Structure 1
Amino acid sequence: MSRIFGAVRQNGYIVRDIHAAMEHWIKIMGVGPWYYMDRVKTDYFRHRGVDSPVEMSIALANSGDLQIELIQQRNDAPSMYKEFLDRGREGLQHMSYWSTDYQALYDRALSLGYKVGHEGQIGGPQGRFAYFDTEAHPGTVIEISDISGAKGRFFEHVRQAALGWDGSRPIREVGGAKR
């Protein structure tokens, strides 16, 4: 439990091949079902304060209350995902904390000296997210995510689906879903 951000709700993995990564988690780890979004549309995405046309695919599944996120960037636009891959890394890149009072958490982080690496929005104002430039070693980037709207309901749906998952339909494509 973080005294600043609360409980870690998600581990985010940056991968070069999202389909291979989902198969690994299904077959080796037994985690699923995966909710796969081929090309996520962002309302906006900024890397270090500059608009960036990031294209990415995302897959979500839960292991208990912890959500696992797989992200494959599909272009060379500037992002912390690309920076991670450019350093020869693949795997755990961030831990995410969720909030129904996103702006207060965002403002608190900034007041404590955290710097935004990249941020964006998916599906309207209640779909904001920010990644703070906190990486001291791989896997320590902090993300905060607004779950006060449709994204929070979708995340709960993903969690519920995992609770009694029997192995059927291991990959479930989602068109236009929210991250």
Structure 2
Amino acid sequence: MSRYFGPLRQLGFVVNDIDSALKHWIDVVGVGPFFFVEDQPLNDFVFRGKSSAPRFSVALAHSGSVQIELIQQHNDEPSAFREFADRGLEGLQHVAYWTTDFDRYMEESKNRGLVELQSGRSGSGAPDERFVYYEDGPYPGTVIEISEVSGRKGDLFRAVEAASKEWDGSNPIRDMRKVL
């Protein structure tokens, strides 16, 4: 557990082929069900201090208390995901911590000297759906994400986790937009 942010809640993987990655996680690893959205809604997205409009697919599932996120970017707009892939990397790109006290976590990050990489609001774009990613430095796969899990995003994350607890292997890929 992080002494700064609490328990690690998500492992975020950047993949070149989300369909192949889903198949691997479902058939080989046995994790699911995955909740998939072809075009993840973003609002107020900023990468390295400049507005950007990346388009990417996302799939979410749980293994115990840890969420697995698969991300495939579909355009060349600047983002941490595009930058990771452009470095020839695929796999674990970030670890995420969840909070309902986003401002306090932001202040803690600032006090510790973390460098903001990208930020915005996900899902419906509500004021309580903020996220921020911080630089990983020399260790690929260790970008830190702080994700606000109040409101609808929190409800979505809880529904994804609940679905994993009794998953019997059926209906392994589900439409994320139909969860809430």
TM (norm. structure 1) is 0.96
Which stretch shows the higher mean deviation, 41-50 or 132-141? 132-141
Counterpart residue number, 1:45: 45
TM-superposed deviation, 1:78: 0.5
Match of 1:131 among 129, 133, 148: 133
Contact 1:133-1:142 at 8 Å conserved across structures: yes
TM-superposed deviation, 1:70: 0.3
Unaligned stretches of 5+ in structure 1? none
The one-letter code of the counterpart of 1:67 is: Q
RMSD: 1.3
SS in 2 for 1:104: helix
Which 4+ residue blocks in structure 1 deviate beyond 6 angstroms? Answer: none
SS in 1 for 2:128: helix
TM-superposed deviation, 1:177: 7.0
- Aligned pairs (5 A) from 1:128-167: 128-167=130-169
Residue 176 and residue 108 in structure 1: after superposition, are their counterparts in 2 closer, same or farther (change >3 A)? farther
Percent identity over paired residues: 46
Counterpart residue number, 1:7: 7
Q: Distance in 2 between matches of 1:19 and 1:173?
A: 14
- Aligned pairs (5 A) from 1:16-165: 16-122=16-122, 123=124, 124-165=126-167
Q: Distance in 1 between matches of 2:142 and 2:176?
A: 28
Residue 163 and residue 176 in structure 1: after superposition, are their counterparts in 2 closer, same or farther (change >3 A)? closer
SS in 2 for 1:175: helix
Residue 117 and residue 100 in structure 1: after superposition, are their counterparts in 2 closer, same or farther (change >3 A)? same
TM-superposed deviation, 1:74: 1.0
SS in 2 for 1:58: strand
Contact 1:114-1:134 at 8 Å conserved across structures: no
Contact 1:132-1:142 at 8 Å conserved across structures: yes
Q: Distance in 2 between matches of 1:171 and 1:135?
A: 34
Q: Distance in 2 between matches of 1:136 and 1:160?
A: 36
TM-superposed deviation, 1:135: 3.5
Q: Distance in 1 between matches of 2:157 and 2:177?
A: 15
TM-superposed deviation, 1:175: 2.9
TM-superposed deviation, 1:174: 2.4
Contact 2:159-2:179 at 8 Å conserved across structures: no
The one-letter code of the counterpart of 2:128 is: Q
Q: Report Cα offsets for 1:36-71 as digits up to 9, x if no partner.
A: 011011112100110001111100000011100000
Residue 176 and residue 105 in structure 1: after superposition, are their counterparts in 2 closer, same or farther (change >3 A)? farther
The one-letter code of the counterpart of 1:29 is: V
The one-letter code of the counterpart of 1:9 is: R
Unaligned stretches of 5+ in structure 2? none
Q: Distance in 2 between matches of 1:96 and 1:107?
A: 17
SS in 2 for 1:75: coil
TM (norm. structure 2) is 0.95
Contact 2:134-2:145 at 8 Å conserved across structures: yes
Q: Distance in 2 between matches of 1:97 and 1:34?
A: 20
